[in-house]
Amino acid sequence: MSDRHSSVVLWILVACGGLLVFGVLVFVLLIYSMKSEQASDFSFGEDKVAVVDLTGEIFDSTSFVEQLDKYGKDSSIKAIVLHIDSPGGSAAASQEIYSAINRVRTKNKKIVVASIASVGASGAYYAACAADKVYANPSALTGSIGVILQYYSYGDLLKWMKMKDVVVKSGQFKDTGDPARDLTDAEKEYLQKLIDDTYQQFVEAVAKGRKLSVDAVKTVADGRVFTGREAKANKLVDEVGDLQDAIDAAAKMANIKGEPHVIKSTKQKPSLFDLIFGDASSLIPPPLQRMSKEAPLQYLWHP
């Protein structure tokens, strides 16, 4: 065999070997990811309490709602504890989570208890109000009942770069919120009406969930956050306590005898498999995520 042919065969063997190693690596990562996601769901016993995390800024409700629905359909799970550590986020996504919690309580007949860790503000607090009972650590920050619309304006930057924003539109308000220019007075009025209506929806949801009057909620619905102790004094939460207190309360409310079996699906950190084949958007900091999106109405607390 000539040297040329030998080199070609060698390169083919090396390429095949590389593809084989890569394939095995991907397979191992996939199996590990599946096992680590399912392992924490496994527990002996029939009467279980499931802990579901609601953490970070709320951009999308899909993953949380799917997990909640899965536990809602599991007859061995008698109660669900929402472990909340979030400043809120998208108004619509927060409302979807609120609706999912109500659905799992009414349709699936599950006891749901919310436990606010460090922060459970704005949209996260909106979601908590759908629970049967709300716990908060004494120094946790919660409340922040209000709506905000915020986006970055780069009109001056375009002028400095001698660039123009060209818009062809069908109506006066079609490009409202264009970051390349300032809002007109009519646009400010238009957006304020949207915010006022969304704010009213928030207030009504809190009033319903906390069994308070709308007027009573409005006295504390000015965007302020409260500590857990202050929130209890204002009837925004039921009890001051930690996650274990919430789990114990959920088990008692669900008539679970003895020590409850607790299961928890941990949120996976992005793996090499995710970076290669999946969605690595969680690696992008929230401010940069907001820059890449439309400017939605938000139930979001800004520290």
Per DSSP, 46 falls in state S
Q: How far apart are CA 272 and CA 29, in angstroms?
A: 8
Which among 61, 90, 115, 122 is annotated as catalytic?
Answer: 122
Our answer to whether residue 122 is catalytic in this structure is yes
3-state secondary structure of 143: strand
Q: Measured between alpha carbons, how far is 33 from 55 in angstroms, rounded to an integer? A: 20
**From the candidates 107, 169, 174, 188, which is the catalytic residue?**
174
Q: How far is Cα 209 from Cα 106, in angstroms, rounded to an integer?
A: 13
Dist CA 2 CA 10 (whole Å):
12
Task: Check if 211 is active-site.
Answer: no
Measured distance CA(6)–CA(73) in Å, rounded: 61
21-55 burial code (b ≥16 CB/10 A, e <16): eeeeeeeebeeebeeeeeeebebeeebbbbbbbbe
Active site (catalytic) residues: 122, 174
